[in-house]
Amino acid sequence: MILDLVILVFTLIFIVFCSELFTNGIEWLGQRLQLSEGVVGSVLAAVGTALPETLIPVVALIFFGKQHGAEVGIGAIAGAPFMLSTLTLGLCGLACLVFTRSGRRKPGLEIKKGVIKRDLRFFIAAYVLAMAASFLPSTGFWRPTMAALLVLLYPFYLYKSFSHEGEVGETPETLYLDRLTKIGSNRLRLIVPQIFLGLAGISSGAYFFVESIQNLSDDFHIPPLVLSLIICPVATELPEKINSVLWLKANKDTMALGNVSGALVFQSCFPVAFGVAFTAWQLDAGTLLSGLVAIVSASVYLGLLTFARLQPVHLAFGALAYACTIAAIIHLDLK
């Protein structure tokens, strides 16, 4: 148990370092391609960090058998949007409040509302379809049709994202690899390798993070549902969203929140489509509850962006919603 805790701490430190490499590289790629902060955060960063987690349900089904693998896979698929829409945005809000209090950033949130509102609308639409799919007949053409619809939704999202580009962001800090080579931060031959180095480091760090979490869960006898629905998404998604915390510290709020909202869209399309198409997609009460909370949470944030002003304290309440839902899921699982 002590060794697992030590590995957990060192893995987190390693992931933070690799996240810094990745965010710095992604910022320079956006600068090089003359992309807006919204596209950089919602598409480039979000897809880059979401890809490793997308493999979890595939691996679970292939290597852990149809019945057990499907249970773990469905839990991982449903757990990611739930965690992103509550805990991750909650931690973003808390981080913003802490950085503001310590004088390391300006108070409030300065975001391009259109970017985040677009992402939340696409997520809500996709995830409502995903939840509805669990009530469709398991035979016939309904499930494959729904899966195809979810997959096709993402290219439409990309079209809308690139059609409404805003201004290019400010010039980032010097590329880390350029600090060693001194040949120019805007060179793709430095930007691309740094991005892949950061992503590879995050992915390998997340692997050891998951392994440590699983060992600790065995020590504490945590139920399988909690492991698949809660622990796996936290272990694989949350470390990579350190990117958002780093951007919040640098007052790059659109990129920070776009990193989360863009990941929500990606996770509600491709992994969910895989689950709908290749598993029974029969969601139990705990999984349905997590989906409902994710949709309600995103809807509340969308309402605040539309009719009021989204503040860090509003995001912080997401962490509370996450904790309450986890307690309810554990209660349901133990009954």
Q: What is the pLDDT of residue 279?
A: 81
Q: What is the pLDDT of residue 47?
A: 77
Q: Of 327, 306, 262, whose CA–CA distance to 81 is shortest?
A: 262
Q: Of 50, 84, 57, whose CA–CA distance to 72 is shortest?
A: 57
Long-range contacts of 218-221 (CB under 8 A, 24+ apart): 219/1, 219/4
pTM, entire model:
0.82
CB 21 within 8 A of CB 194: yes
For the beta carbon of residue 101, count every other beta carbon within 10 angstroms: 10
Q: What is the pLDDT of residue 69?
A: 55
Q: What is the pLDDT of residue 329?
A: 86
Q: What is the pLDDT of residue 9?
A: 78
Q: What is the pLDDT of residue 246?
A: 87
CATH of 2-167+175-334, one of 1.20.1420.30, 2.60.40.420, 3.40.50.1820, 1.10.730.10: 1.20.1420.30
Q: How many helices (H) and strands (E) does the chain have?
A: 15, 0
Interatomic CA distance for residues 310 and 302, integer angstroms? 9
Q: What is the pLDDT of residue 51?
A: 67
Q: Of 327, 42, 65, whose CA–CA distance to 158 is shortest?
A: 42
Q: What is the pLDDT of residue 222?
A: 66
Interatomic CA distance for residues 25 and 176, integer angstroms? 8
Interatomic CA distance for residues 308 and 199, integer angstroms? 36
Query: 3-class SS at 168?
Result: strand
CB 284 within 8 A of CB 158: no
Instruction: State residue 67 phi and psi, 5-degree precision.
Output: -75, -55
Query: 3-class SS at 308?
Result: coil
Q: What is the pLDDT of residue 68?
A: 53
* DSSP annotation of 33: T
Question: Which phi-psi region, left, alpha or beta, contains residue 251 (left: φ > 0; alpha: ψ -120 to 50)?
Answer: left
Produce one character per residue of 108-121: b if its CB has 16 or more CB atoms within 10 Å, e if not.
ebebbeebbbbbbb
Averaged pLDDT in 10-residue chunks for the chain of 335 residues: 78 80 84 80 77 65 57 78 94 94 90 92 96 87 92 92 69 84 83 88 73 70 65 68 87 90 92 86 89 97 94 96 91 71
Two structure tokens written together for 139: 């035979």
Helices (H), ranges, 107-252: 113-133, 142-163, 176-181, 188-219, 224-226, 232-237, 242-249
